[in-house]
Amino acid sequence: MNVQLKLLAVFTLMTLVFFSCTKDEEPEVTCPTGFVLDSLGDCVAIDPCDTITCGVNAVCDAGSCECVYGYEQDATGDCNTTWATKFATGSNAPATDTVYGDNGAFSQTYNMVITVTDSVNLSTTNLGGFGSSNVIAMEATSSYDLLINDTDVAGRVFNGTGTINSNQITLNYTISYNDSTVDTCETVIVL
């Protein structure tokens, strides 16, 4: 064989050996803890709520169920108890007022009613001992706090807060009258 043919044969053989390779397989991707591989091959954070089903009035947050605004867990762990329900007194709940202000200092005892309007809203009848036409709206801002900000039919403005502790509701509020006088009141309601 002539030298040129031998060189051509060697060159062809080298080319086949050098350039004949199979396509490399994609490297296996390993995601760090807390991540999974998505369909595009990227590591994405695991959503801790993916496998959690929360009941009615609840949402998943960071892997655990939380009650939505206005609800709290009952004895079974379900979010079925409204905040407002805890404050409902039924009819003729005994209330005691201690009043300080422009109209003097005094105490009085009377009956009042707190009724549930919805999961966070309530209304009182006879707050301050002003009679059954005195209906004041209140809002439960948590499972133990109330907000009072309403004007009754006589034009008296009620502003303040309240708390529930065990079997007692304590309201601290002011009453602003049409004649610009103001009374500061504390009402204790025994449930």
**Position 176 confidence tier, pLDDT thresholds 50, 70, 90:** very high
pLDDT at 88: 77
Mean of the per-residue pLDDT values for the chain? 83
Please, are residues 191 and 167 in contact by the beta-carbon 8 Å criterion?
yes
Say if 180 falls within a structural domain.
yes
Query: Mean of the pLDDT values across residues 60-77?
Result: 89
For CA atoms 97, 95, 109, 135, give the dihedral sign: positive
Q: Are 97 and 184 found together in one domain?
A: yes
**Position 24 confidence tier, pLDDT thresholds 50, 70, 90:** low
Q: Which residue among 43, 68, 93 closes a domain?
A: 68
Q: Are 125 and 168 found together in one domain?
A: yes
Q: Are 89 and 161 found together in one domain?
A: yes
pTM (2 decimals)?
Answer: 0.65
Q: Which residue among 68, 93, 120 closes a domain?
A: 68
Say if 152 falls within a structural domain.
yes
Q: Are 92 and 163 found together in one domain?
A: yes
**Position 84 confidence tier, pLDDT thresholds 50, 70, 90:** confident
Q: How far apart are CA 149 and CA 141, in angstroms?
A: 12
Percent of the chain with pLDDT over 70: 84
Q: Are 184 and 93 found together in one domain?
A: yes
Work out how many domains the chain is built from and give that number: 2
Q: Are 54 and 141 found together in one domain?
A: no
Exposure string for 82-104, b = 16+ CB within 10 A, e = fewer: bbbebbebeeebebebebebeee
Q: Is residue 18 scored above 80 in pLDDT?
A: no
Q: How far apart are CA 185 and CA 174, in angstroms?
A: 6
Q: Are 168 and 134 found together in one domain?
A: yes
CATH of the domain at 134: 2.40.128.420
pLDDT at 94: 81
Q: Are 185 and 95 found together in one domain?
A: yes
- Domain housing 170: 85-190
Q: Are 169 and 139 found together in one domain?
A: yes
Residue 182, CB-side half-sphere exposure with 13 Å CA sphere: 8
Say if 18 falls within a structural domain.
no
Higher pLDDT, 109 or 14: 109
**Position 165 confidence tier, pLDDT thresholds 50, 70, 90:** confident
Q: Is residue 10 scored above 80 in pLDDT?
A: no
